[in-house]
């Protein structure tokens, strides 16, 4: 019985480690490397580490508690990718943005089943990015994802982490990836509380100096005005 318990603990540890291993974030473009076909890694990747707390949601929509990360894209982009993993665990990422909430809760073992959306606002320049305009902005959902087999499994061994890629549609102004304000919405697939650390990454196939990611609208405006 003791041996079985040890084996189960070892397997759980392996699942936990696997949940923390992120491969390079590749886009829609593919290339052959020897016998394998791989997705070409994004040239521009911004990483945000956060913590979602119960009762601290930004909006309740369709019975679900939604949280938002505000994303400023400084130039036209041909494509954007977004992926999210919970919990952060021991994932090692260079030059990540660490929110105050994450720093305070980085040792938490809580995690959630991520469900993400990429939304574009009608704010297209810095002048229009005021507190009042952001609070009353119109949002258009460009893409969404629940479970992705490309992402690491969570500590329970489930493919419950999320990844989406969206290609700009130049023929439709409402679906083109122009400069301006976007947001990443996240919740869980099932109705209920959202709690735990998370890692969110935004990728693009071109360099985009000046990308801003934050949960705080005031901080977004401050950074835009620097």
CATH of the domain at 200: 2.60.120.380
What percentage of the chain's residues is helix, strand, coil (to nearest 5)?
15, 40, 45
Beta bridge partners of 120: 140, 182
- The tens digit of pLDDT for each residue in 194-220 reads 999 999 999 999 999 999 999 999 999
What is the band of 14 on the pLDDT scale with cuts at 50, 70, 90? very low
Looking at the structure of the chain, the number of domains it has is 1
**Domain with 54 in it:** 2-224
Residue 11 has pLDDT above 60, yes or no: no
What is the band of 3 on the pLDDT scale with cuts at 50, 70, 90? very low
Residue 7 has pLDDT above 90, yes or no: no
Residue spans of beta strands (DSSP E) within 54-179: 59-61, 64-73, 79-85, 97-98, 114-121, 139-145, 162-167
**Alpha-helix runs per DSSP H in 19-164:** 100-105, 131-135
What is the band of 55 on the pLDDT scale with cuts at 50, 70, 90? confident
Question: What's the whole-model pTM score?
Answer: 0.89
Q: Please state the rounded mean pLDDT for residues 78-94.
A: 94
């Amino acid at each position: 019985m003791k041996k079985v318990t040890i084996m189960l603990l070892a397997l759980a540890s392996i699942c936990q480690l696997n949940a923390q291993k992120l491969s390079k974030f590749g886009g829609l473009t593919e290339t052959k490397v020897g016998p394998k076909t791989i997705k070409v890694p994004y040239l521009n990747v911004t990483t945000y580490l956060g913590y979602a707390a119960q009762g601290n949601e930004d909006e309740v929509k369709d019975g679900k508690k939604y949280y938002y990360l505000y994303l400023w894209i400084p130039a036209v982009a041909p494509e954007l990718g977004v992926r999210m993993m919970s919990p952060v665990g021991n994932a090692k990422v260079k030059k990540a943005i660490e929110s105050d909430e994450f720093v305070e809760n980085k040792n938490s073992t809580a995690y959630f089943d991520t469900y993400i959306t990429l939304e574009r606002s009608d704010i297209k320049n810095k002048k229009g990015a005021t507190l009042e305009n952001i609070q009353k902005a119109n949002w258009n959902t460009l893409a969404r994802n629940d479970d992705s087999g490309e992402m690491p499994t969570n500590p329970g061994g489930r493919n419950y982490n999320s990844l989406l890629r969206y290609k700009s549609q130049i023929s439709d102004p409402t679906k083109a990836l122009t400069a301006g304000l976007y947001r990443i919405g996240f919740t869980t697939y099932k109705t209920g509380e959202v709690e735990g650390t998370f890692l969110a990454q935004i990728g693009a196939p071109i360099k985009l100096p000046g990308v801003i990611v934050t949960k705080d609208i005031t901080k977004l405006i401050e950074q835009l005005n620097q």
